[in-house]
Each structure stands twice: as structure tokens, then as C-alpha cells.
């Protein structure tokens, strides 16, 4: 089982730490369907040098858009030797005809139903050329083969996914393309998710779900079950789900300490272009304040290059993030991935400028822009990163929090993430990355507020606890 490195691995922007965070969970999930007698070698090129001189019965390669060419070369290499080769993943689902030229069998969509079906066919020597996922359920998936993961190579070995997909339909997102032909959002059984959490050692968890608060009943039960487990965790959710409450309070009680939030843009027109309904007419600052009042740090995601964006968008976005105490920002240049609604509409308008998938890495402009030239967009993108992560702005942004502990957490988290590259590289080279986990856990420890703070029209009394709320906690109703 191989995860080839993304093309960024060879670019000047390559940050080894960024690609040493999470183990290849998708492949380890599929490995669970193999027999316990099968000898499995799970290789992740982001953290190790691939060994391709073997001759296995089966090679399984996960394909993203910016590792596609590399994945195809590896597949061709094995097929030349007569090894049966499978390709699956986001890019294969978007462009099955392209992938088919390099594989004996391809998979489109998630593999929980199709991979076991393939294995049966393979054993009776009658595999099909293509398996399309239609039945979608992860209620009874077998435990992930975490024994195949080289834990010491990753900063966050305890990554976990308890749902698939997302209830929303943003035009630039892969989600709809990947889940076409079946359910686009579904969860594990709560008991199964809790059992998976129990199996993970240590304290820290990183939920890689697209939207951890997407199914209210499921998430409520999950957080209820996690209370008392003494975990700290990170995850992702949408602006509307944060404002809706009280789920976010329950998440904080269960141990949520940092959240990835897709703000993407401040322009209503851009939100419309992106079909980002969950952000429309929502008060971003209220969402930010609510998270901060719960001691939750924020990783804000922002997209540059939507049609309304002008030359000021970079400055506006960085200043907003610094002023509002966003801990880390992830900036992207708009990228129309094949298979998405955005790609289709740009293609119809003749705006796609290249089909070189290596450039579809959210750092390059691959489409015809409107108000900004491609070089303005690329320069602005790079400027935004540099500016947001200047020490000056890290200090300024940290200082915006009420409590000293939150200020320090912000400072260490943002500074540690962006300013100590040689230290990270040393830890990666010496195989000691996992030893940093206790540091991360302590940075993610609970913030206890000693003052009363006002969020919008709500008063939050938070002496020692995060939960005691009075007044209407549904500001959008
Ligand atoms: S909310 Fe996020 S995961 Fe869901 S469709 Fe939009 S971009 Fe994709």
C-alpha cells in the first residue's frame, strides 16, 4: 500500500513538518479488510524513502491530484513486472479514464464497500476493471490497522475519522465529486467511534472529518461519550455550526481545543459563487468570539482569487485574522479541481489555463482570473503568509485574548508551527517527532477564564468552567 508524496515535496515551499503530521489513515482503513495472514507493507513517501524493488501480489496506490503523475509512474513500474496494481482516491474518482491507463483496477468514491468486493473477486481470479462505490456505510467498519502505521514518524499519529463527507456543497470542494452516486455525508455508529478513541494511546486526538459538527445527534452523543475520557482534540467545523450552539460548548467540554474553520472570504458575492451557504450572512466575529470564550484556538481557512477579490483582499484578510486573534491561517489560491462544479463552470467559460495537475496545489494560478492578474494573486498569496506569520503579527494577535494562558497558547502554537523549521527538521530526521506530542498536548490544555465576558448579547459566566451560559445562546435564530 503506497501513498506517493505530493508534488510539493520537491518545491521550494516544501515544509517537511506539514507532511509529517498525519499517517495514511485511508490506506490503513482499507488494510483492515485484508486477512490477518496477508503480509502488508504500508509506505508513505512523505516520511520515508519508497522501496519499490519488491514483487508483491497486489499494489494499492492512493492518488491525489498533485501526486497523480508520481502515482502513475509507480503504478507503471509495478505493472511492467506483472504486479496487479490498484489505484483509488480523489483524483481517480474525478478522472477515472486517465487513471485507468495506469492500473489493472481502479476504484471511484470511498472504498468501504468496493474494496472487500474486489478482494473476493481477486481471490477467485475474476477482478473487475472498475469498482464504483454505491453502498455507503461505515457503521460496521473493522478497526483500522494502526499497527501498520509508523507512529514515531508523525506528529499526530492519533488522527481519526468518524464520518465521511459533509452536508454542504461548496463549488470548489472535492466532496460532491468524490461521493457522487450515493450518500454524501454519513457517520460511524457512536459506540464504534468511542471504541476507536479508546483504542488510541495518550491524550491527543485529531479528527480529520470534514465537518465534526455536521450531524448534531451524532456529535452530541460522541461528545457526551468522550466526557471524562481526559482527551484534548482538534477538528474542523463550519461557521454556522459554531454559531448555532450548544454543540460547540459540548465539544469544548469533551476536550475540543482547536478548530479549523472555513471562513474562505468576506465577500457575499464570492460566497455565492462558491455556494457557501453556511457562511452567508453569518457574523464571523461572533463565531470567533464564541470559540475564544470556550478557550478554542482557531485555524482559519481563506481562499484568494474568487471573482470579487481585488488587490486589497490580502491585506484585509491578514489584518482581520490578526485583529481577531486567529491562531493559524491557511491561505489558498482558488483551485478548480477536476470533477468539481467550479471546474465545470470555468471550463464552460474557457477559463481553465492548464491541465498540468502538478500546478493544482493551491499555490499556483491555473485559471483565468478577473480583477487580479495571476502574478498579483500569487504574490499576494505569498505576502499574506509572510505577513500573518511575522513575529510582530504573532505577538499582536496573541495579545488580543483575554486570559494570559490563551495568549501564551496562541504564541507557542503559532510560533512553534511556523518559526522553528530547523527544529522540526531535526526531529523528523532523527525519528523523534512523536516525542513532541506531550508539548502539543500541554499547549492544547484547557483555558480557564477568570473574568466574565460578553459575546454579542449573551453573558458568559465562566469561572473555572466553560459551560455556564445564561441568555439566548442561538444568536442566529
Ligand atoms: S463545508 Fe468544507 S467539506 Fe463541506 S463542502 Fe464546503 S468546503 Fe467541502
Residue 25 cell numbers, joined: 489513515
Q: Give nearest CA residue, ligand 1 atom 1.
A: 168
Residue 181 cell numbers, joined: 452516486
Long-range contacts of range 426-431, CB-CB < 8 Å, 24 or more positions apart? Answer: 428/16, 428/17, 428/20, 428/47, 428/153, 431/152, 431/153
| pLDDT score of 461 more than 50 | no
pLDDT at 15: 74
Task: Report the alpha-carbon angle 304-308-312, nearest 5.
Answer: 65
| Residues 183, 311 within the same domain | yes
pLDDT at 261: 97
Ligand 1 and 305: CB distance under 6 A = no
Ligand 1 and 204: CB distance under 6 A = no
| Residues 107, 164 within the same domain | no
pLDDT-derived band of residue 415, with 50, 70 and 90 as boundaries?
Answer: confident
| Residues 236, 380 within the same domain | yes
Please report whether residue 467 resides in a domain: no
| pLDDT score of 330 more than 70 | yes
Q: Is 107 in a helix, a strand, or coil?
A: strand
Which residues touch 5 (CB under 8 Å, ≥6 apart)? 19, 45, 46, 67, 70
Nearest atom in ligand 1 to 236's CA: 2
| Residues 101, 246 within the same domain | no
pLDDT tens digit sequence for 280-320: 989 999 999 999 999 999 999 999 999 999 999 999 999 99
| Residues 109, 195 within the same domain | no
Ligand 1 and 262: CB distance under 6 A = yes
pLDDT at 460: 33
pLDDT-derived band of residue 467, with 50, 70 and 90 as boundaries?
Answer: very low
| Residues 170, 113 within the same domain | no
Nearest atom in ligand 1 to 166's CA: 4
Which residues touch 294 (CB under 8 Å, ≥6 apart)? 248, 249, 252, 256, 466
Please report whether residue 148 resides in a domain: no
pLDDT tens digit sequence for 214-236: 999 999 999 999 998 999 999 99
CA-based torsion, 326, 331, 334, 339: positive or negative: negative
| pLDDT score of 453 more than 70 | no
pLDDT tens digit sequence for 376-406: 999 999 999 999 999 999 999 999 998 888 8
| Residues 107, 168 within the same domain | no
| Residues 119, 214 within the same domain | no
pLDDT at 12: 65
CATH code at 82?
3.40.50.280
| pLDDT score of 112 more than 70 | yes
Residue among 388, 239, 264 nearest 332 (CA): 264
Residue 126 cell numbers, joined: 475474476
Nearest atom in ligand 1 to 174's CA: 8
Cα 265 to ligand 1 centre (Å): 14
| pLDDT score of 115 more than 70 | yes
* Least confident segment among 146-155, 214-223, 358-367: 146-155
Ligand 1 and 264: CB distance under 6 A = no
Q: Which of 211, 259, 341 to mutate to test the pocket of ligand 1 (most atoms within 8 A of CB)?
A: 211
| Domain C-terminal end among 97, 117, 132 | 132
pLDDT at 200: 94
Residue 345 cell numbers, joined: 463552470
| pLDDT score of 473 more than 60 | no
pLDDT-derived band of residue 427, with 50, 70 and 90 as boundaries?
Answer: confident
Higher pLDDT, 9 or 35: 35
Long-range contacts of range 196-199, CB-CB < 8 Å, 24 or more positions apart? Answer: 196/143, 196/144, 196/160, 196/162, 197/160, 197/226, 197/229, 197/231, 198/229, 199/143, 199/146
pLDDT at 8: 75
pLDDT at 135: 86
Please report whether residue 469 resides in a domain: no
Cα 175 to ligand 1 centre (Å): 7
What is the chain's mean pLDDT, rounded?
A: 89
pLDDT tens digit sequence for 239-272: 999 999 799 999 999 999 999 999 999 999 999 9
Residue among 107, 194, 196, 189 nearest 144 (CA): 196
Instruction: Report pTM.
Output: 0.89
Rg (CA), the chain: 22
pLDDT-derived band of residue 448, with 50, 70 and 90 as boundaries?
Answer: low
Task: Please count the other Cβ atoms lying within 10 Å of the Cβ belonging to residue 299.
Answer: 19
Residue among 397, 403, 401, 416 nearest 321 (CA): 397
Ligand 1 and 237: CB distance under 6 A = no
pLDDT at 430: 79
Cell 500546478: give the residue: 359
Please report whether residue 149 resides in a domain: no
Ligand 1 and 111: CB distance under 6 A = no
pLDDT-derived band of residue 440, with 50, 70 and 90 as boundaries?
Answer: confident
Cell 519508497: give the residue: 50
pLDDT at 391: 94
Please give the Cα distance from 85 to 79 (Å, whole number): 6
pLDDT at 434: 78
Report the percent of the chain where pLDDT is more than 90. Answer: 75
Across the range 111-130, mean pLDDT stands at 96
pLDDT-derived band of residue 472, with 50, 70 and 90 as boundaries?
Answer: very low
Identify whether the C-beta of residue 252 lies closer than 8 Å to the C-beta of residue 296.
yes
Residue 63 cell numbers, joined: 492518488
Report the percent of the chain where pLDDT is more than 70. Answer: 93
The boundaries of the domain holding residue 432 are 155-449
Nearest atom in ligand 1 to 262's CA: 2
Nearest atom in ligand 1 to 173's CA: 8
pLDDT at 10: 65
Please give the Cα distance from 213 to 204 (Å, whole number): 19
Ligand 1 and 210: CB distance under 6 A = yes
Q: Give nearest CA residue, ligand 1 atom 2.
A: 210
CATH code at 391?
3.20.20.70
| Residues 119, 206 within the same domain | no
Secondary structure (DSSP) of 265-327:
-S-HHHHHHTT-GGGTT--HHHHHHHHHHTT-EEEEEEEE--TT--TTHHHHHHHHHHHTT-S
Ligand 1 and 166: CB distance under 6 A = yes
**223-227, 411-415, 469-473, range with greatest mean pLDDT:** 223-227
Amino acid at each position: 500500500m503506497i501513498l506517493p508524496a505530493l508534488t510539493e515535496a520537491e518545491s521550494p515551499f516544501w515544509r517537511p513538518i506539514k507532511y509529517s503530521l498525519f499517517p495514511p489513515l485511508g490506506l490503513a482503513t482499507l488494510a483492515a479488510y485484508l486477512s490477518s495472514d496477508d503480509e502488508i507493507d504500508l509506505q508513505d513517501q512523505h516520511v520515508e524513502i519508497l522501496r519499490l524493488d519488491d514483487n508483491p501480489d497486489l499494489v494499492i496506490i492512493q492518488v491525489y491530484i498533485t501526486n497523480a503523475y508520481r502515482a502513475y509512474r509507480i503504478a507503471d513500474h509495478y505493472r511492467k513486472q506483472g504486479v496487479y496494481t490498484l489505484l483509488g482516491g480523489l483524483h481517480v474518482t474525478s478522472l477515472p479514464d486517465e487513471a485507468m491507463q495506469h492500473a489493472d483496477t481502479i476504484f471511484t468514491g470511498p472504498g468501504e464497500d468496493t474494496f472487500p468486493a474486489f478482494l473476493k473477486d481477486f481471490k477467485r481470479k475474476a477482478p473487475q476493471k472498475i469498482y464504483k462505490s454505491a453502498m455507503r456505510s461505515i457503521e460496521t467498519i473493522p478497526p483500522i490497522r494502526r499497527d501498520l502505521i509508523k507512529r514515531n514518524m508523525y506528529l499526530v499519529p492519533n488522527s481519526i475519522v468518524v464520518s465521511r463527507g459533509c452536508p454542504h456543497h461548496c463549488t470548489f470542494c472535492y466532496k460532491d465529486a468524490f461521493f457522487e452516486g450515493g450518500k454524501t455525508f454519513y457517520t460511524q455508529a457512536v459506540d464504534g467511534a468511542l471504541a476507536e478513541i479508546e483504542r488510541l494511546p495518550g491524550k491527543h486526538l485529531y479528527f480529520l472529518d470534514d465537518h465534526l459538527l455536521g450531524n448534531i445527534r451524532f456529535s452530541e452523543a460522541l461528545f457526551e461519550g468522550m466526557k471524562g475520557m481526559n482527551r484534548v482534540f482538534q477538528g474542523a467545523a463550519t461557521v454556522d455550526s459554531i454559531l448555532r450552539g450548544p454543540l460547540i460548548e459540548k465539544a469544548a467540554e469533551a476536550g475540543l481545543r482547536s478548530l479549523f474553520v472555513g471562513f474562505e472570504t468576506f465577500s457575499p458575492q464570492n460566497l455565492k459563487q462558491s455556494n457557501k451557504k453556511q457562511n452567508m450572512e453569518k457574523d464571523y466575529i461572533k463565531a470567533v468570539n464564541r470559540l475564544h470564550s470556550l478557550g478554542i484556538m482557531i485555524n482559519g481557512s481563506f481562499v484568494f482569487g474568487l471573482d470579487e477579490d481585488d488587490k486589497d483582499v490580502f491585506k484585509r484578510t491578514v489584518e482581520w485574522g490578526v485583529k481577531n486573534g486567529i491562531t493559524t491561517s491557511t491561505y489558498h489560491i482558488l483551485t478548480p479541481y477536476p470533477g468539481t462544479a467550479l471546474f465545470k463552470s470555468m471550463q464552460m467559460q474557457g477559463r481553465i489555463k492548464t491541465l498540468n495537475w502538478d500546478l493544482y496545489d493551491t499555490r499556483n494560478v491555473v485559471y483565468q482570473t478577473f480583477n487580479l492578474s495571476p502574478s498579483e494573486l500569487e504574490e499576494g498569496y505569498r505576502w499574506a503568509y509572510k505577513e500573518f506569520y511575522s513575529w510582530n503579527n504573532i505577538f499582536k494577535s496573541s495579545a488580543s485574548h483575554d486570559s494570559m494562558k490563551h495568549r501564551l497558547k496562541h504564541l507557542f502554537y503559532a510560533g512553534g508551527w511556523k518559526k522553528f523549521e530547523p527544529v522540526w527538521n531535526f526531529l523528523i530526521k532523527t525519528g523523534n517527532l512523536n516525542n513532541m506530542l506531550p508539548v502539543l498536548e500541554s499547549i492544547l490544555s484547557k483555558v480557564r477564564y477568570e473574568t466574565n465576558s460578553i459575546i454579542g448579547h449573551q453573558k458568559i459566566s465562566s469561572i473555572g468552567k466553560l459551560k455556564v451560559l445564561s441568555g439566548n445562546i442561538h444568536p442566529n435564530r
